[in-house]
Structure 1
Amino acid sequence: MSKPVIALVGRPNVGKSTLFNRLTRTRDAIVADYPGLTRDRQYGTGRTGNHPYIVVDTGGLSGEQEGVDPLMAGQVRSAIEESDAILFLVDGRAGLIPADEAIANYIRQFNKPTYLLVNKAEGHSHQLISADFFQMGLGQPFVISSAHGDNVKETIDHILDEVVTEEEEEKAFDLDEHPGIRVAVVGRPNVGKSTLINRMIGEERVVAFDMPGTTRDSIFVPFERDGQAYTLIDTAGVRRRKNIKEKIEKFSIVKAIEAMESCNVVVLVIDGSEGITDQDLTLLGLALESGRGLVIAINKWDNLTEDQRNKIKHELEFKLHFVDYAKKHLISALHGSGVGDLFKTIRGVYQAVMKKVSTSDLNRVLEQAVLDHQPPLIGGRRVKLRYAHLGGSNPPRVIIHGTQVDKLPQAYTKYLMNVFRKAFKWQGTPVFIEYKVTVNPYENRKSSFSSRRGKSESQSENLAVKRRKKKNTQQKRRTN
């Protein structure tokens, strides 16, 4: 099902970013600021109960200039337009001010469900702090504290219950209905993504047809190549051949997030002539967050000079060192060079992310990893990794049980990731490791035993004292 999108709107310093971090359970955005797209806009994902959602943090609006339209142009306007609900935050301690009313009047023009959140309410009466805001005509205000979490979960639950209607829930799609390997092609506008998409589905031996989108404007396109079934997830919409001339695509992070979460393998397209930009790194961050298999395609390679090629190779080595498990392809979507190899890698990554590994094989590898490199001492005690089992695939998730495993440093976890990736050929995919602390079932019994032992020893000492006293008394009597 398409995740609802919630936009946080309001004046500066009303607590939007604090609420964003609480909803996404992060200290900053899951995806870094997007230059040009986001001086004031960040995206993250959250979940409450059975409702996952996407939350967008926008920049502060002064509301003091004549007409709010200039202020809403650009990023804040885009966030509101792509949202399913608007959370309008105001400062409860400051009370209602004209800037809030100006922003509220503009928000009404979008005809989107709007919820008024009176923030910074800690230590105040909810009735008193919200009294002034009823006159805004946005319904019952929700009084919260984004800093302390007061009433935040209850408010979001209420909002999502209204936004996620029964009709929308019925639109939930079963990914099993989309055959073969699901591939999401993502990239910045004008990097050649559309050309690559049409190249992938437009060969003579490929049969492709448009299928109505199931998540916003994303299109699911089944096709076949070399006997392998695929479903291409195109966030921009696959254009018919007569419309291929359109070069610029409207970019949406929301669509990219949904496409990635619906696929098996993400193909990130980068324009080789422009190098690796901050926008590319933002999309890469989204791909890592989704946990899906990853392939990186450097496009327009045939048009690059030798200096440009050396520069992009240098950037691949140093800017993308943290995704060294992902294979990089140098392609030309326009002429088709390298695209065939791209399919080969996609198939290999899919096989890796869906691979099933037995518990015995996992434990054999874990045992050897510990022998080769012992875990560190924590508080003078050695961390013990007792056993492991597979917790899921796409991405592979290894659950390790043991004592003090929750205190293992990140460096050792990364070591284990690399060991498992190499052993089971989990190439092109992140490997997640979760730790479960093993509880010693005899710990309480040991404590009880020690207590009984201490009591028994005390009783023995008392008996020995009595015996010594009795013996001394008898000796004195014989002497007299």
Structure 2
Amino acid sequence: MKPTIALVGRPNVGKSTLFNRLTKTRDALVADYPGLTRDRHYGHGRVGDRPYLVVDTGGFEPVVDDGIMHEMARQTLQAIDEADAIIFIVDGRSGLTPQDKIIAQRLRQTQRPVYVAVNKVEGMTRSVVTAEFFELGLGDPGAISASHGEGVREMINEVLELFPVEEEEEEANHPKFAVIGRPNVGKSTLVNAVLGEERVIAFDEPGTTRDSVYIDFDRGEKKYTIIDTAGVRRRGKIDEAIEKFSVVKTMQAIEDANVVVLVLDATQEVSDQDARLASFALEAGRAMVVAVNKWEAANLEQREIIKREVLRKVGFLSFAQFHYISALQGQGLAELFKSIDQAYHAAMIKIPTPKLTRALQLAIERQQPPLAGKIRPKLRYAHQGGTNPPVVVIHGNALEKVPAVYWRYLESTFVKTFKLQGTPLRVQFKLGDNPYQEKEEVSRSKPGLVATRKAKVAEKAKFKQRLAAKKGQ
């Protein structure tokens, strides 16, 4: 198994910057703002042929007894318990602080190896800046600059030397679904209900989750990756710069997912922001499932209202399955997962060309494309042009004259034929691949071009004849 390395330290010492450096990504939000990272955040790293898992944690405040900082401390302690090794990050410019000493005392109680990384030492004498951190009693501190990469490779090599070299196992493809929605609709509660543990902070305060958290887990014999995203508010209400970053991370999570689970609140009206989120996921071509949460808290009148609102505001998601669930009580999760599996398989399906062409021909037999003047478009064959979402490419003649209503007829035919429930389908029309054939079609539509080409060819021929005659003389 890959060794798991947890990054621990007080707020704003550079843990997320080091996480991005070790994973060679920008997955963790980075800003000069203490308390930005709140949940555990996992990533894959590699040095040469040595793979590892690295865990970014929130700022560790072990002396706080309540509030969001207390929840962050709990997440950090859980990451410490799960880790095989710990990198304790301190700030070389701030020097040794009383809070560093408290954290070091807590880390000495663990049975995990701890490496002290003195960060932000660029332009400083390393031996001088690391000297005071020997007082922590956790071995020789190493000097690094996470933002510039100085000393990072030496640090991670020293940590990995503690573990035997093992071959990395290739992971099979599996569903990756993002949980999206407005703030405080119960996304993190749903994630915790799915995982069966308090894996992410679920706090009665809008905006608790600020980063997109990727979590691998097994359900039965199947593997999944769930992405807990930050709640996205209406633009006018996004005041903090940090929350603007979170919106970007949510959009990136939608792009990265196979399936998107849109969470709505049964006790509130479906807002325009819900519709915009659904529209963005649809434009990205993602398979979707809609989960109306807090169903246990809604009375009969609210339930009737929300059902009408769902049909009115997000009725364009007709391909998606709708579920009315209670994440807090764990109701409706089994049916939700069935729809997630179905949507994933529909989004990633691979259909042989003969089957697609046969379905196209049957659709034409039932209903031919309408005449466009004196011309009837000819649809010859179809093949698959991509997945996530499935793309069907149809070849033929005069396809630019196919009306939108027939386009939708073909889409619905393919969806019904191949049972593509839960995913949007895109149909593309493509004229002949032969460029000369396309030129002939254009010239037939504009006869004057043919006469012009013939005149130019005749003129060139006469010029060559005159040139040959002069050479003969």
Q: TM-score, normalised by structure 1?
A: 0.50
Q: How does 1:209-248 map to 2 (within 5 A)?
A: 217-236=211-230
Q: Is the 8 A contact 1:179 1:222 kept in 2?
A: no
1:285 to 1:178, Cα distance in 2 relative to 1, 3 A? farther
Q: Is the 8 A contact 1:179 1:231 kept in 2?
A: no
Corresponding residue number in structure 1 for 2:387: 393
CA distance in 1, matches of 2:406, 2:250: 32
CA distance in 2, matches of 1:430, 1:389: 17
1:313 to 1:399, Cα distance in 2 relative to 1, 3 A? same
Q: Are positions 1:255 and 2:249 aligned together?
A: yes
CA distance in 2, matches of 1:343, 1:444: 53
Q: Are positions 1:384 and 2:410 aligned together?
A: no
Q: Are positions 1:199 and 2:199 aligned together?
A: no
User: CA shift at 1:256, angstroms?
Assistant: 1.7
CA distance in 1, matches of 2:367, 2:214: 46
Q: How does 1:37-52 map to 2 (within 5 A)?
A: none
CA distance in 2, matches of 1:390, 1:378: 27
Q: How does 1:38-437 map to 2 (within 5 A)?
A: 180-202=174-196, 217-236=211-230, 252-437=246-431
1:179 to 1:437, Cα distance in 2 relative to 1, 3 A? closer
User: CA shift at 1:321, angstroms?
Assistant: 2.4
Corresponding residue number in structure 2 for 1:471: none
CA distance in 1, matches of 2:340, 2:323: 11
Q: How does 1:435-446 map to 2 (within 5 A)?
A: 435-438=429-432, 441=437, 444=440
Q: Is the 8 A contact 2:230 2:247 kept in 1?
A: no
CA distance in 2, matches of 1:201, 1:360: 42
The 3-state SS of whatever aligns with 1:302 is: helix
User: CA shift at 1:409, angstroms?
Assistant: 2.0
Corresponding residue number in structure 1 for 2:55: none
1:256-290 per-position Cα deviation (integer Å, ceiling 9, x unaligned): 21001111110000011112111100110111011
User: CA shift at 1:407, angstroms?
Assistant: 2.9
1:109-133 per-position Cα deviation (integer Å, ceiling 9, x unaligned): xxxxxxxxxxxxxxxxxxxxxxxxx
Q: Is the 8 A contact 1:209 1:221 kept in 2?
A: no
CA distance in 2, matches of 1:368, 1:180: 33
The 3-state SS of whatever aligns with 1:321 is: coil
1:266-323 per-position Cα deviation (integer Å, ceiling 9, x unaligned): 0000011112111100110111011111000000111111111111111222332221
1:122-167 per-position Cα deviation (integer Å, ceiling 9, x unaligned): xxxxxxxxxxxxxxxxxxxxxxxxxxxxxxxxxxxxxxxxxxx999
The 3-state SS of whatever aligns with 2:316 is: helix
Structure 1 regions of 5+ residues with no counterpart? 6-164, 168-175, 211-215, 238-248, 455-480
1:342 to 1:356, Cα distance in 2 relative to 1, 3 A? same
Q: Is the 8 A contact 2:377 2:398 kept in 1?
A: yes
CA distance in 2, matches of 1:443, 1:236: 52
User: CA shift at 1:406, angstroms?
Assistant: 2.3
Q: Is the 8 A contact 2:272 2:313 kept in 1?
A: no
CA distance in 2, matches of 1:408, 1:166: 56
CA distance in 2, matches of 1:394, 1:317: 25
Residue 298 of structure 1 aligns with an amino acid whose one-letter code is V
User: CA shift at 1:178, angstroms?
Assistant: 8.7
| Runs of at least 4 residues off by over 6 Å | 445-448
CA distance in 2, matches of 1:395, 1:301: 30
Structure 2 regions of 5+ residues with no counterpart? 1-24, 30-146, 150-169, 202-209, 232-241, 455-473
User: CA shift at 1:384, angstroms?
Assistant: 0.8
1:223-255 per-position Cα deviation (integer Å, ceiling 9, x unaligned): 111111111122249xxxxxxxxxxx9573312
1:343 to 1:203, Cα distance in 2 relative to 1, 3 A? farther
Q: Is the 8 A contact 2:212 2:228 kept in 1?
A: yes
Residue 290 of structure 1 aligns with an amino acid whose one-letter code is A
CA distance in 2, matches of 1:405, 1:444: 16
The 3-state SS of whatever aligns with 2:381 is: strand
1:311 to 1:437, Cα distance in 2 relative to 1, 3 A? same
Residue 409 of structure 1 aligns with an amino acid whose one-letter code is P
Segment drifting more, 288-297 vs 373-382: 373-382
Q: Is the 8 A contact 1:266 1:294 kept in 2?
A: yes
1:404 to 1:265, Cα distance in 2 relative to 1, 3 A? same
Q: Percent identity?
A: 45
Q: TM-score, normalised by structure 2?
A: 0.51
User: CA shift at 1:352, angstroms?
Assistant: 1.2
User: CA shift at 1:382, angstroms?
Assistant: 0.3
User: CA shift at 1:390, angstroms?
Assistant: 0.2
